[in-house]
Amino acid sequence: MLIFCFANLLYSPRIGRLGRPMRDESFIHFNMPVWPVQQEVVSMKTRVISRLVTMVLVSWMVTFWCGAASVGAETPEEFYKGKTMTIVVTFSAGGGTDLMTRAFAPYVKKEMGLDLAIVDNKGGAGGLEGMNYLYGVAKPDGLIIGVTTEGMIGNYLLEAPGVQYTMTKYNFIGLLCPFEMTVYARPKYKTVKDLQAAKGLKFGGIGPLDPPTIGGALVIDLLGLDAKLIPGFKGTGPMILGTMKGEIDGFVTAPAALFEPVRKGEITRLCTLGTKQSSITPEPPITQLVPLSAEKEKLLELYESIQYGYYFVAPPATPKDRLEYLRKSFDKICSTDEIQKNMAGVIKFWSGHITGDKLEGIVNGLEGQRADMQKTKLVAQKYIVR
């Protein structure tokens, strides 16, 4: 286009050869320079030929450039082939999120044609360190993605200390194995009534205001327990160990890493922290075990309105075509019988998945509950040990 405009300016009938006025301005044409410069009249034949030559040259150059651009364009499939992907887990090793990710990574490698799919644990502050890294440090080229949980939502909505991200700016690849949060305790507490009869209980939490921490506070409040809340554990794994050692008496988390400890009698699974029966565990919801006031039931409904599960995310500004390829690959992997059987073996359950575009809509919708969610924050602040 630039060459076309330049040619038009250089050979315009109104400007003439090399900027000199022409006598005949009634005919619109391109005029090639004619030497010597002193010649003022150019034949019709020369003008027509010069116009055709110019148009052919411009057309050829445009075609050449477009062809070169087309040849140079790289598809997402070509981009990922033979590359190394880093999958950042925002919790420490040994928990349900870590176990699930390590089982899932080989399928990502195979489906996307990667050379390697490396799992990198960045636990700390209940997942905040990893989420902040993905948001503001990780290169948004599609080769670094993250796996986290609903804590990224809870911490953001409740404005937890240390949050350095806006949840709606992440690129959501999909959610694996949606679940309900569950209440666990030391083996000597067989029922909710056993907890209610105890004194000086300690419940563990992870981040300052993430769902396990808020969940622990709600259990204390809804059951009227004599208990305090101790956040700061680096994931589900450390909370499990802390409970086995007697450092804490209970906690709230996802069921993934707890099936084996429950089977062995090392930890008791008491109930689902919600108003509905879990699709994964047999214990009843807490609302069937204790009567709740309308106000407390509303708090519980707010808590369970967050979509629980394993979030696969990409940093903000990840190229759209690569994000779509990541989503497509995630959906394809999750739709196979092989991965469903594998997940059922690793985390002991399979409850399906949610696509990236649908998950994005769910997260965007939660933004409107930010003010109401502050009520759960006030409950947590009543019981957290400073």
**pLDDT score at 46:** 56
pLDDT tens-place string over residues 230-275:
999 988 889 999 999 999 999 999 887 789 999 999 999 999 999 9
In order of start, what are the domains of the chain with their CATH numbers? 2-72 (no CATH), 77-179+307-369 (3.40.190.150), 182-306+374-383 (3.40.190.10)
The residue-averaged pLDDT of 336-365 equals 93
**Which residues, in sequence order, are bridge partners of residue 312?**
147, 174
pLDDT digits (tens, 9 = 90+) for 189-239: 999 999 999 999 999 998 888 899 999 999 999 999 999 999 999 888 899
Pairing of strands 84-89, 310-314: unpaired
Global pTM? 0.74
Question: According to the model, what pLDDT value does residue 101 have?
Answer: 96
Confidence of residue 50 (pLDDT cuts 50, 70, 90): low
Structure tokens at 170: 């992440």
Q: What is the CA radius of gyration of the chain?
A: 32
Distance CA 16, CA 18 (A): 6
Q: Look at phi and psi of residue 142 and say left if phi exceeds 0, alpha if psi is from -120 to 50, else beta.
A: left
195 token code pair: 């907890």
